[in-house]
Structure 1
Amino acid sequence: MKSELTGPDERTVVRRWARHPRCVARARADLRTTLASWGLPTVEEVALLVLSELITNAVRHARVPGRQIETRYLHQGDSVRIEVHDTGDPHPRLMTPRPEAVHGRGLFLVDALADQWGVTPRAVVGKAVWAVLAIPDDERGSTADGQLGEG
């Protein structure tokens, strides 16, 4: 992790990672900690799998030397948005993997697990691949300290 930025409301977390396979596990651990601080344990399993797929794609396919991968986690009240920014130009495509295929299941899983997902071009170079996960109704009032908020 190269730098840490947290939004003023502590509901946006931005991290930058070296484009290396080790960053996948580190980003997962970081997201796990973030979700715990937001009091969102029920979305953790799905969120970690979605992040793993998105960041693995960035490590594998965004081959711009010396460039970092950026993750953003946004608590949006009724949802959590996970973004992975990279400087690669190719936009990922959703494909149905063949049963014998070794690769190609990442976005298929993201599509199945996320409530929404997509790709947004970045202003200068690259893209952001994002996914939105709905927070169950009983957790939506949680705050960072675990107390119930006002709806």
Structure 2
Amino acid sequence: MLVLSELLTNAGQHAQVSPGREIETRFRPLGGGVRIEVHDASDMPPEVREPEPGACGGRGLVLVGALADRWGYGARRGPGKVVWAEVGSVKLGP
């Protein structure tokens, strides 16, 4: 949930696109896990930052990198990019 939240937050904050170019999520099953994809219409690549101590933001991709088995980004069909993360062990339910 945190990985998805961070990827969506980054897309919403940094992928400033024109109206009608919504953010899309996709989930692809992997053997024992899931690939989370967040698609947006911005060509700007995600940027991992080193936030200042005490800063209120800037840690999203650091968290994604710590929690996901792998993550990255690439082009997609049409305008924009896809940012993805693969998580190997998914616990469903309580």
The amino acid that maps onto 2:2 is L
Rounded Cα–Cα distance in structure 1 between residues aligned with 2:35 and 2:22: 20
The amino acid that maps onto 1:58 is A
SS of the residue 1:50 aligns to: helix
Q: Which has the higher helix share?
A: 1
Rounded Cα–Cα distance in structure 1 between residues aligned with 2:66 and 2:47: 14
Matches within 5 A, 1:138-149: none
Per-residue deviation, 1:63:
1.2
Between Structure 1 and Structure 2, whose CA radius of gyration is higher? 1
Aligned match for 1:75, one of 29, 41, 47:
29
Per-residue deviation, 1:83:
0.4
> In the alignment, which residue of structure 1 is the partner of 2:54?
100
For structure 2, the 5+ residue unaligned runs are none
Query: Deviation above 6 Å: which 4+ runs of structure 1?
Result: none
> In the alignment, which residue of structure 1 is the partner of 2:5?
52
SS of the residue 2:82 aligns to: strand
For structure 1, the 5+ residue unaligned runs are 1-47, 140-151
Higher relative contact order (CA 8 A, sep 6+): 2
What TM-score do the two structures reach when normalised by structure 2?
0.87
Rounded Cα–Cα distance in structure 1 between residues aligned with 2:15 and 2:50: 21
SS of the residue 2:23 aligns to: strand
Deviations 1:39-87, CA, capped at 9 Å, x for gaps = xxxxxxxxx0000000011111111122111100111122211000000
Deviations 1:87-134, CA, capped at 9 Å, x for gaps = 011111112222122221100100111000001112331110000001
Deviations 1:20-44, CA, capped at 9 Å, x for gaps = xxxxxxxxxxxxxxxxxxxxxxxxx
The amino acid that maps onto 1:61 is H
> In the alignment, which residue of structure 2 is the partner of 1:89?
43
